[in-house]
Structures are given as structure tokens and as C-alpha cells.
């Protein structure tokens, strides 16, 4: 099943506008296809398993390739809504990709031993060829219906390939269960169910993580945009100040000039200065266009109004230079410079607040990471005390909760370090102290090998070697505590002033109140 999300709102001019997401895929499987017992003999079973293993690898690759073609067609459909010319440019590229999948599918047909799988493959090939034909027939910008038809054929091909894979899963799982005794088959079936539950939990976690990452990435993109606009405003203020100072200097020189040659030279300097001023106005227009685009538009309404006022003063400066009204040019230039600086201060305050929010989130995550590591240490200690030499050995092929927790810690640590690294890079110019402290914290954690220590602890815990696991876990815990201390110090560098501290306290109180209400 394929699906997508869409959002619709009204533009400033009252017209309706709609945005579609990327294409999503949901695969539905039947339980009987997973747990059905096979009837093949042992020797024939081994040969059949090897053949179907190769077939399975090929079908998985075909599914992956067809999904890429389907995604490419969907993205092209979204692009042509705003840029119809893109259809003629990209349709041949998508067609070439579909033709490549057709060649791979035709080659795989010779190795398909299962008649039902072969039938599904033929259905997929027919749908692929129909899709390629529709893409090839596109010859004008308004041939969007052919693109829609190609998309339908590609979906049909993808569905047929999935049916082919579903048959393979049935055979492979049946072979695994029928190759041993009934007791072993029951154990393997139970293990499969446990693994399925684990995958479902991982998918739920990944979905939540994906949503959080999307929100975090949106915030960071806004921060990056604000930082770039801040740097641009600082540059404009510097350039305007330099031009204004030069105007005043040339005005004084013109008043003191006694010969016509001296006055002519000063006028040439004024012409060059006028040209610089007009270039500055053009750069202002580019900055205004940037504020008008995408998500910046809603966030910079007030700033754009102030920028328009600054542009008027900058334009007056250029016009006054052209007419040699140097007093007016200097006054307008001074006002423009002040407005640039005020705008820069507004963006500086905004980015500071954004960095503060990011640091609150980072501090919360590292605290949770450290608390979870303490729980893992306690669980390891409890198991060591309760372990008896006569106890049944742990099955290393069935991950228990301790192993899962250590693996999750390793993943969370990696994600946190990557987030801190990106935050350090973003804050390099606007918040250099914060940037340096985050950089040092990340570097020390990576140098100490905390992730490797967690991985080694997980491996030893897997085989119930708790003494060695505890040693590596202790090293990882110390490293996480040091990272926590580094993040706390970095947070203090930006949350340390009284106003920011009050905002942080208010935010934390509101979070606690929500937790109490939800509990």
C-alpha cells in the first residue's frame, strides 16, 4: 500500500495552495505465510533453500530498484506542479531507470523456480513495460496524464514484486522449521514471534524518532537561515558605515579643494561611491527575496518591513550621491546603517533563543542518557549477584532486555553526538563560546571510545559474561557522565544570564505541570 500526506492553506493573496509529502509505503503480510510448516525432505530442502535464497536476494534488489523508480516518478509529479518544464527534462531519466529494472527483472526470470513467483514476476514485467512506454511517450509539458499513468503502472509492478517476495518468505520460514525436531521447531517459532515483536517496537520507536528528527531539522534549518541573514545584515551595516564615512570625508575634501582638477578627482570618487551604494541596494533586494521564500516568509514579517525602511534610506543615499547632495547622502546613510544594526540585533536575539532551545533539548537528552546508564549498571550488578554456576546458559541468539538497552544506548549516544556536532558548527560565529565547549565535549567522548565501550558491553552481555560486560559498561558510564558535565557547562554559557535563566525555569515548570496532569 502506498500513501502520502498533504497540507493545504491559503496564501496571502487568498488563493488555495497545497503541498504533498514524499510517497510512503506500507507492506501487509499474512501470519500464515510466516509460520506455515514445510513438507519437503531434508536433502531436497537444502538444495531448494539455496535456490530460493538466490531468488530472494534478486527479488529484494528488484523491489528496491522499483521503489526508487516509483519515488522518482512521484517526485517528478510534485515538481511539475510548479515547474512544467521539468517534465521534459526528467522524464527520460526516470524512463532509463525503469528500463534498467526491466533488464534486471528479465534476467531474474530465468532463475525463478516457483511457478507462482514466476507469474508475479511476469505481471511485474508487463506493468514495468507499460510504465516505460508512458514515460517514453511524453513529448510536451502538458503530458502530465501520461506521468500519472506511468505512476499507476509502477505501483502495479511494485505490488507484484511484493507478492513474489511474500511467497519466498513462506517457503524459507517453512524450511527452517521443518529441518529440526518438533521441539526445536516450537522454539524457533517462538523466537520468530519475539523478533517480530522487537521489530514492531523498533518501528514504533523509529517512527517517533523520525518525527522528532523532522521537527529538530526544521528548527535547525530555521537557525541556519537566521544565521545567514544575520551575517548578511552585519556585512551590509559594515559596508554602509564605510560608505557613509567616505561620503563625509569626500565632502570635507570637496569644500577644501581649490583647483578644478582636485574637485574633478573628488567627483570621480563620488561616482565610484555611488556605484558601491547601488550595489548595496541590489544586495538588499536579494536579502529581501530570501526572507520572502519558503518558511522564512512567515517568520520574518516584521523584519521585512524594517528592511524595506532601511532600503528606502539606502536608495536615498544613492540618489543624493548622484545629485551631489552630500549632506543628505551622509544622513540617509547613517540612518540606513543604524537600521541594519537594529535588524542584526533582532536576528542575533532570535538565534540566541534558538540556540538556548537547542541546548535545553541537548541537556535533557544527555541527562536521560546518563540516568538510563545508571539503570543498566544496576541491572548488571543485580544479575552478577544472582548468577549461579549451575544456571542454564543464556541463549546468545535471543537478545534480552539488557542487550537491547545497551544497543539503544549506543544508538542514542551516536545521535546525540551528531546533534551536538551540528550545533557546534552552527554556533561557531554567533556563539563562539558555546561552539568551542560543545566541540570539546564531543571530541573527548569520541576520543575515550564511549560508543566502543557500549558495544563491547553489549557483546559480553549477549553471552552472559557479566564481569567483562560490567567493566566496559563502567567505562562507558564514566564517559557519558563526562559528556553530561560538558553539555551542562556549554548550556550555562548561553543560559547563564538572568533573563535566559528565568525563561528556562518557566519552561521547566510548565513541563513539570504537564507531566503531573498527564500522570
The answer to whether 160 touches 125, Cβ cutoff 8 Å, is no
Domain extents for the chain?
Answer: 2-196, 223-347, 351-384+399-518
pLDDT of residue 502: 63
Name the region of 394 (left: φ>0; alpha: ψ -120 to 50; beta: rest). beta
pLDDT of residue 191: 53
H-helix segments, 257-325: 260-292, 296-299, 301-322
How distant is the alpha carbon of residue 297 from its chain centre? Answer: 22
Query: Can you tell me the distance from the alpha carbon of 425 to that of 335, in angstroms, rounded to the nearest whole number?
Result: 34
pLDDT of residue 194: 56
Is the pTM higher than 0.75? no
Q: What's the helix, strand, coil split of the chain in %, to 5?
A: 85, 5, 15
**Residue whose entry in the numeric block shows the C-alpha cell 529494472:** 101
pLDDT of residue 36: 43
Distances (CA, A) of 17 to 7, 13, 14, 359: 8, 11, 9, 35
pLDDT of residue 35: 41
pLDDT of residue 514: 81
User: What are the cell numbers at 488?
Assistant: 551542562
| Helix and strand counts by DSSP (H, E) for the chain | 15, 4
pLDDT of residue 401: 87
Residue 141 has what DSSP assignment?
Answer: T
Q: Which of 422, 433, 295 is nearest to 358 (CA)?
A: 422
Q: What are phi and psi of 7, to 5 degrees?
A: -130, 140
Q: Which of 203, 200, 126, 132 is nearest to 159 (CA)?
A: 126
Query: Can you tell me the distance from the alpha carbon of 189 to that of 167, in angstroms, rounded to the nearest whole number?
Result: 18
**Residue whose entry in the numeric block shows the C-alpha cell 502506498:** 2
CA dihedral angle for residue 56, residue 57, residue 58, residue 64, rounded to 10 degrees: 110
| 2-196 against 351-384+399-518: fold identical | yes
Task: Output the DSSP codes for 51-109.
Answer: HHHHHHHHHHHHHHHHHHHHHHHHHHHHHHHH-TTHHHHHHHHHHHHHHHHHHHHHHHH
Non-local (6+) Cβ contacts of 517 within 8 A are: none
Q: What is the mean pLDDT of each run of 10 residues along the chain (519 residues)?
A: 79 77 71 44 47 60 88 86 84 89 84 77 90 87 86 89 61 40 42 56 66 74 83 92 93 87 90 94 92 83 90 94 92 94 87 84 93 94 75 57 91 93 87 91 94 93 90 95 93 68 70 79
Q: In terms of CATH, what superfamily is 2-196? A: Alpha-catenin/vinculin-like (1.20.120.230)
The answer to whether 36 touches 173, Cβ cutoff 8 Å, is yes
Greatest C-alpha distance within the chain: 113
pLDDT of residue 242: 94
Residue 392 has what DSSP assignment?
Answer: P
Q: Which of 194, 165, 181, 199 is nearest to 33 (CA)?
A: 165
Q: Which of 440, 20, 419 is nearest to 220 (CA)?
A: 419
Query: Can you tell me the distance from the alpha carbon of 247 to that of 327, in angstroms, rounded to the nearest whole number?
Result: 9
Query: Can you tell me the distance from the alpha carbon of 57 to that of 51, in angstroms, rounded to the nearest whole number?
Result: 10
> Is the Cα dihedral 173, 178, 180, 184 positive or negative?
positive
Query: Can you tell me the distance from the alpha carbon of 427 to that of 87, in angstroms, rounded to the nearest whole number?
Result: 40
Instruction: Tell me the CATH number for domain 351-384+399-518.
Output: 1.20.120
Query: Can you tell me the distance from the alpha carbon of 314 to that of 183, in angstroms, rounded to the nearest whole number?
Result: 85
pLDDT of residue 46: 47
Query: Can you tell me the distance from the alpha carbon of 448 to that of 480, in angstroms, rounded to the nearest whole number?
Result: 10
Amino acid at each position: 500500500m502506498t500513501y502520502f500526506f498533504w497540507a493545504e492553506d491559503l496564501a496571502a493573496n487568498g488563493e488555495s495552495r497545497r503541498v504533498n509529502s514524499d510517497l510512503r509505503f506500507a507492506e501487509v503480510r499474512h501470519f500464515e505465510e510466516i509460520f506455515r510448516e514445510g513438507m519437503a525432505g531434508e536433502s531436497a530442502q537444502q538444495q531448494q533453500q539455496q535456490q530460493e535464497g538466490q531468488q530472494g536476494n534478486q527479488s529484494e534488489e528488484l523491489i528496491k530498484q522499483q521503489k526508487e523508480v516509483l519515488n522518482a516518478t512521484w517526485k517528478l509529479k510534485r515538481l511539475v506542479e510548479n515547474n512544467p518544464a521539468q517534465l521534459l527534462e526528467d522524464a527520460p531519466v526516470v524512463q532509463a531507470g525503469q528500463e534498467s529494472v526491466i533488464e534486471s527483472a528479465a534476467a531474474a526470470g530465468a532463475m525463478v523456480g516457483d511457478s507462482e513467483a514466476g507469474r508475479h514476476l511476469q505481471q511485474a514485467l508487463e506493468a514495468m513495460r507499460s510504465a516505460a512506454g508512458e514515460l517514453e511517450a511524453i513529448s510536451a509539458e502538458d503530458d502530465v496524464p501520461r506521468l500519472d499513468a506511468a505512476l499507476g503502472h509502477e505501483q502495479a509492478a511494485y505490488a507484484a514484486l511484493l507478492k513474489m517476495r511474500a511467497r519466498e518468505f513462506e517457503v524459507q520460514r517453512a524450511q527452517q522449521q521443518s529441518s529440526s525436531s518438533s521441539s526445536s521447531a516450537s522454539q524457533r517459532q517462538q523466537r520468530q514471534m519475539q523478533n517480530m515483536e522487537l521489530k514492531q517496537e523498533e518501528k514504533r520507536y523509529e517512527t517517533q524518532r523520525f518525527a522528532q528528527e523532522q521537527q529538530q531539522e526544521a528548527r535547525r534549518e530555521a537557525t541556519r537561515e537566521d544565521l545567514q541573514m544575520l551575517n548578511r545584515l552585519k556585512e551590509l551595516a559594515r559596508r554602509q558605515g564605510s560608505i557613509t564615512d567616505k561620503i563625509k570625508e569626500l565632502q570635507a575634501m570637496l569644500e577644501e579643494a581649490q583647483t578644478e582638477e582636485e574637485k574633478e578627482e573628488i567627483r570621480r570618487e563620488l561616482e565610484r561611491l555611488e556605484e558601491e551604494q547601488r550595489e548595496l541596494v541590489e544586495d538588499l533586494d536579494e536579502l529581501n527575496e530570501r526572507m520572502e521564500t519558503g518558511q522564512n516568509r512567515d517568520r520574518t514579517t516584521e523584519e521585512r518591513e524594517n528592511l524595506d525602511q532601511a532600503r528606502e534610506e539606502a536608495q536615498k543615499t544613492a540618489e543624493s550621491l548622484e545629485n551631489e547632495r552630500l549632506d543628505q547622502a551622509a544622513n540617509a546613510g547613517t540612518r540606513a546603517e543604524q537600521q541594519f544594526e537594529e535588524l542584526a540585533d533582532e536576528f542575533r536575539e532570535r538565534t540566541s533563543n534558538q540556540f538556548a532551545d537547542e541546548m535545553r533539548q541537548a541537556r535533557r537528552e544527555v541527562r536521560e542518557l546518563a540516568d538510563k546508564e545508571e539503570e543498566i549498571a544496576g541491572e548488571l550488578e543485580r544479575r552478577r549477584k544472582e548468577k549461579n554456576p549451575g544456571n542454564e546458559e543464556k541463549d546468545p541468539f535471543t537478545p534480552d532486555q539488557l542487550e537491547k538497552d545497551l544497543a539503544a544506548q549506543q544508538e542514542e549516544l551516536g545521535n546525540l553526538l551528531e546533534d551536538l556536532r551540528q550545533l557546534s558548527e552552527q554556533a561557531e560565529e554567533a556563539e563562539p563560546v558555546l561552539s568551542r565547549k560543545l566541540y570539546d565535549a564531543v571530541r573527548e567522548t569520541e576520543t575515550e571510545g564511549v560508543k566502543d565501550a557500549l558495544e563491547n558491553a553489549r557483546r559480553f552481555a549477549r553471552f552472559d559474561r557479566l564481569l567483562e560486560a560490567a567493566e566496559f559498561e563502567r567505562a562507558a558510564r564514566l564517559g557519558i557522565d563526562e559528556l553530561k558535565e560538558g553539555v551542562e557547562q556549554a548550556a550555562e554559557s548561553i543560559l547563564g544570564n538572568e533573563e535566559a535563566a528565568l525563561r528556562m525555569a518557566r519552561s521547566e515548570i510548565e513541563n513539570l505541570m504537564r507531566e503531573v496532569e498527564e500522570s
